[in-house]
Amino acid sequence: MAEATTNGKYKVIGTRPIRHDGADKVTGRAKYGADYTFPGMLHGKVLRSPHAHAIIKSINFDKALKLPGVKAIVTSKDLPSVANKLEQAGEMAINPHHLSMNILAHDRVLYDGHAIAAVAAINGHIAEEAVRLIEVEYEVLPPVMTVDVAMKPGATILHKDLRNQEDGDKQTNVAQHYQFKRGDVAAGFKAADYVVEREFKTAMVHQGYIEPHNAVGIYSSDGTATIYCSTQGAFEVRSFSAQVLGMPVGKIRVVPAEIGGGFGGKTTVYLEPLSVLLSKKTGAPVKLVMSRAEVLRASGPTSGSQIKVKMGATKDGKLVAAEIWMAYEAGAFPGSPVGAGAMCIITPYKVENFLIDAYDVVVNRPKTAAYRAPGATNAAFASETVIDELAEKCGIDPIDFRIKNGVKEGDAQTVGPPFKRIGFIQTCEAIKNSPHYKSKLTGKNRGRGVASGFWFNAGMNSSATVNIHADGTASVVTGSPDIGGSRASMAMITAEVLGLSANDVRPVTADTDSIGHTDVTGGSRVTFATGMAVYEAAQDAVKQMIERASKVWEKKPDEVEFRDGKFFAKGNGVPPMSIKDLAPRFSRTGGPITGRASVNGRGVGPGFATTCVDVEVDPETGKVQILRCTIAQDAGKAIHPSYVEGQMQGGTAQGLGWGLNEEYFYDEKGILRNVGLLDYRMPTCLDLPMIETCVVEEANPGHPLGVRGVGEVSIVPPPAALANAIYRAVGVRMLETPMSPPKVLKAVLKHGGSAQHSAAAD
């Protein structure tokens, strides 16, 4: 019946219409969280710890409260006591106790920037002055900044009550140990002709969204609260805030504002519960916006890590064994993405024998949050460098080595079950056949590197409604905050099913009271899962309209067909009817048409990407200039190709920044020293070339349109691709990110020999 428009020859899908929210975004009208104001609104600021690790002995805010214009101050005493165990909140498990301690430190501060108190005042300047008047007495403790220090016997302990499954009742900084294994690793290495063993370090990096965190909280005297904020997941903000505040979920409404980037960093809460607490205490709306320094010091970066990789191959280039040890900084509370990293690190390859040990370790740094394919980029930096070295030892082209060992449909994933249809090999072949890879790179100190990456992608819950208007156009309502153009894709899917143009469908992101539960915009899941809900909701609308058309024609529903946006009555010469013709008759045939669907996105299609990068290394300064970059990624199906390319380019740029420049600099006291965007050095447009894209479309069999989701995997290959390119340029294997000028220079000087020689000969 309603399958009519999706025969593989799409009219709307695969085209490039102007995004629906575009005009507002180029004219400055789009409303982001910090743009909201309400009558009588107060402004909040947060007092943050100047120490990495300390016991809070006392807090005195008498002076601050006396400052004219100050309306209220809250500390952790204003938070209810909550459960100290993992609880389901939406699709993500959280520990409400840890979340509460991160919102406002309870009895100790665990990182530089840890929130201690929050002030509401008539303007932000007064709130800031009040913050400076709060007196806190600390007992400073030694900071634990890296996983090796944190894991040492006798290390300073962050959480007295933290235990893991292996160490019994012993106090520890290791929150979790994951292990994955297959086959016989010792036998595997025995069969290997070449074995490469390397140790890697990656620095903690930030998602770097340009819009700081923000929230406006409005607590009403009837016990309900409304939160306006820029978030990737309004429903997560609702459930997390409810947990921390001890409020029922149904009493909180979250209105997602336009969001200025997130990349995983806006999937949790920082200011949202504070805005409600302060609003409750003052009776006024309260807005809080982080400064850039607060974003860097206290919102979720992703883990720095230490990784050891040992891999073996036979001389004909078959991978036979892998032994991996990895430890990720979780930040101040458990929950690094090391488990995900472990499940990604060798997943692109068929390896019969492996043992992977992975450790989640708490340190005196901000609690990490998701960052685009969380855990996978650190992991790939290590494994893809070792793969490159093995390919070289075997004398095989690095792309051919990957094609030879790469996973295909039916091969086992690291976690066990076999892959369904995937496009990894196709991404390798796309690079191999690209003008970039076929071109010859010439010149001194220049090199070309390739690397690949894997990310699971996610399904989870999504809801959608499709409303047919009286003029035959439609609106599509979802609960997925649009972070990179997804509204356009939702409108296009609706238009495809209804036989309308993309312009005839208006996409809307609704608040938590106006749409069914919809999980976070993350995991590359919006076009996949919310797209699936939209597809089904549009089909539901078509099904209802077929019944109405049959009423108009006095036929049975199965005597009416819908195709190309028109209804046809079987058998006689009645002229077809468009949705526009039918829409004015809705009220006489049974009322308005609203199609609905809710899905629990099964059939997730994993994502793969392969990236090729050319660099030139200045052997005198260690600076690495990127000359050319191409990425091939499997999208499954590109709904709006421009925004698919955009995800590939954006993720690549982040990966290149991660590889070359970005890092958190902590001093010996555990204080973050680069808290601005001049010193936390993200790529500018002078640092990057055009980023060429090859969109591979290996349809995901688990999705009606073949969609996989494209948001994340593009970030995974670049750091390793850069390391491999630097090796070919100057002969040194870089084992640490960022591969910044001082580190590259040091490696080049240490290596001496050929690199220096060729530079001298230049």
Partner 1 sequence: MSKKTLVEATVNGETVEFLCEPRQSLLESLRDILELTGAKEGCLTGDCGACSVMIDGRVVCSCLMFGVEAQGTNITTVEGLATTGTLHSLQRKFLEHASLQCGICTPGFLMAAKGLLDRNPEPNEADVRYALAGNLCRCTGYDKIVKAVLDAAADLRTHGEGKAAAR
Name the 3-class secondary structure at 193. Answer: coil
Distance CA 374, CA 331 (A): 14
Q: Is residue 261 within the footprint of partner 1 (CB under 8 A)?
A: yes
DSSP sequence for 409-452: TTPBPTTSSBP-S--HHHHHHHHHTSHHHHSPP-STTEEEEEEE
Q: Is residue 26 within the footprint of partner 1 (CB under 8 A)?
A: yes
Q: Is residue 485 within the footprint of partner 1 (CB under 8 A)?
A: yes
Nearest to 337 by CA among 712, 632, 714, 19: 712
Q: Is residue 391 within the footprint of partner 1 (CB under 8 A)?
A: no
- Choose which of 14, 50, 183, 260 interacts with partner 1 (CB under 8 A): 260
- Choose which of 394, 508, 653, 713 interacts with partner 1 (CB under 8 A): 653
Task: Provide the 8-state DSSP code for 211.
Answer: S
Q: Is residue 67 within the footprint of partner 1 (CB under 8 A)?
A: no
CB of 662 to partner 1, least distance (A): 11
- Which tokens sit at 109? 């501060």
User: In terms of DSSP H, where are the helices of 676-717?
Assistant: none
CB of 257 to partner 1, least distance (A): 11
- Choose which of 136, 204, 245, 483 interacts with partner 1 (CB under 8 A): 483
Size of the site for partner 1 (CB under 8 A): 58
Q: Is residue 212 within the footprint of partner 1 (CB under 8 A)?
A: yes
Q: Is residue 760 within the footprint of partner 1 (CB under 8 A)?
A: no
Contact set for partner 1, span 165-204 (CB under 8 A): none
Q: Is residue 410 within the footprint of partner 1 (CB under 8 A)?
A: no
- Choose which of 61, 209, 333, 666 interacts with partner 1 (CB under 8 A): 209
CB of 647 to partner 1, least distance (A): 8
Q: Is residue 14 within the footprint of partner 1 (CB under 8 A)?
A: no
Distance CA 626, CA 324 (A): 30
- Which tokens sit at 582? 């039918």
- Residue 16 or 563 having the CB closest to partner 1: 16
- Choose which of 484, 516, 523, 565 interacts with partner 1 (CB under 8 A): 484
Which range in 286-294, 320-328, 423-431, 467-475 contacts partner 1 by CB under 8 A? 286-294
Q: What angle do CA 668, 671, 676 make, to 5 degrees?
A: 130
Which range in 159-167, 256-264, 348-356, 551-559 contacts partner 1 by CB under 8 A? 256-264
CB of 326 to partner 1, least distance (A): 27
Name the 3-class secondary structure at 642. Answer: helix
Q: What angle do CA 328, 330, 334 make, to 5 degrees?
A: 125
- Choose which of 202, 302, 610, 654 interacts with partner 1 (CB under 8 A): 654
- Residue 28 or 154 having the CB closest to partner 1: 28
Q: Is residue 31 within the footprint of partner 1 (CB under 8 A)?
A: yes
Name the 3-class secondary structure at 40. Answer: coil
- Residue 111 or 658 having the CB closest to partner 1: 658
| Contacts for 636 with CB less than 8 Å, ≥ 6 apart | 423, 528, 605, 697, 698, 699, 700, 703, 706, 707, 708, 709
- Residue 296 or 495 having the CB closest to partner 1: 296
Nearest to 145 by CA among 199, 217, 88, 204: 204
Distance CA 424, CA 372 (A): 19
Nearest to 253 by CA among 267, 237, 266: 237
CB of 67 to partner 1, least distance (A): 11
Distance CA 264, CA 362 (A): 20
**Secondary structure in 3-state letters for 230-267:** CCCCHHHHHHHHHHHHCCCHHHEEEEECECCCCCCCCC
Contact set for partner 1, span 632-651 (CB under 8 A): 640, 642-643, 645-647, 649-650
Site string for partner 1, 599-638 (x = CB under 8 A): ----------------------------------------
Which range in 205-213, 327-335, 722-730, 746-754 contacts partner 1 by CB under 8 A? 205-213
Task: From residue 144, give the alpha-carbon distance in Å to each of 53, 298, 301, 330, 663.
Answer: 8, 17, 17, 12, 18
DSSP sequence for 117-171: EEEEESSHHHHHHHHHH-EEEEEE-----SHHHHHSTTPPPS-TT---SSSTT--
Distance CA 613, CA 691 (A): 10
Strands 505-509 and 624-634: unpaired
CB of 498 to partner 1, least distance (A): 24
Nearest to 734 by CA among 453, 451, 454: 451
- Choose which of 181, 292, 315, 570 interacts with partner 1 (CB under 8 A): 292
- Which tokens sit at 618? 């200045």
CB of 268 to partner 1, least distance (A): 18
CB of 690 to partner 1, least distance (A): 5
Q: Is residue 28 within the footprint of partner 1 (CB under 8 A)?
A: yes
- Residue 16 or 393 having the CB closest to partner 1: 16
Beta bridge partners of 182: 354
Distance CA 504, CA 580 (A): 11
Q: Is residue 291 within the footprint of partner 1 (CB under 8 A)?
A: yes
Q: Is residue 709 within the footprint of partner 1 (CB under 8 A)?
A: no
CB of 288 to partner 1, least distance (A): 13
Contact set for partner 1, span 503-532 (CB under 8 A): none
Nearest to 20 by CA among 485, 495, 510, 468: 485
Q: Is residue 23 within the footprint of partner 1 (CB under 8 A)?
A: yes
CB of 649 to partner 1, least distance (A): 4
Contact set for partner 1, span 111-140 (CB under 8 A): 125
Site string for partner 1, 675-704 (x = CB under 8 A): -xxx---xxxxx-x-xx-------------
Site string for partner 1, 301-320 (x = CB under 8 A): --------------------
Nearest to 124 by CA among 65, 75, 70, 62: 70
- Choose which of 91, 112, 236, 258 interacts with partner 1 (CB under 8 A): 258
Peptide bond just before 348 cis, omega within 30 deg? no
- Choose which of 271, 289, 534, 729 interacts with partner 1 (CB under 8 A): 289
- Residue 16 or 198 having the CB closest to partner 1: 16
Q: Say if CB 188 and CB 312 are below 8 A apart.
A: yes
Which range in 46-54, 522-530, 671-679, 745-753 contacts partner 1 by CB under 8 A? 671-679
Nearest to 579 by CA among 464, 499, 465, 507: 499
Q: Say if CB 259 and CB 32 are below 8 A apart.
A: yes
In the chain, the amino acid numbered 668 is E
- Choose which of 180, 263, 270, 371 interacts with partner 1 (CB under 8 A): 263
Which range in 195-203, 284-292, 545-553, 582-590 contacts partner 1 by CB under 8 A? 284-292
Q: Is residue 27 within the footprint of partner 1 (CB under 8 A)?
A: yes
Binding site for partner 1 (CB under 8 A): 16, 18-19, 21-23, 25-32, 34-35, 37, 125, 207-212, 258-263, 289, 291-292, 483-485, 640, 642-643, 645-647, 649-650, 652-654, 676-678, 682-686, 688, 690-691
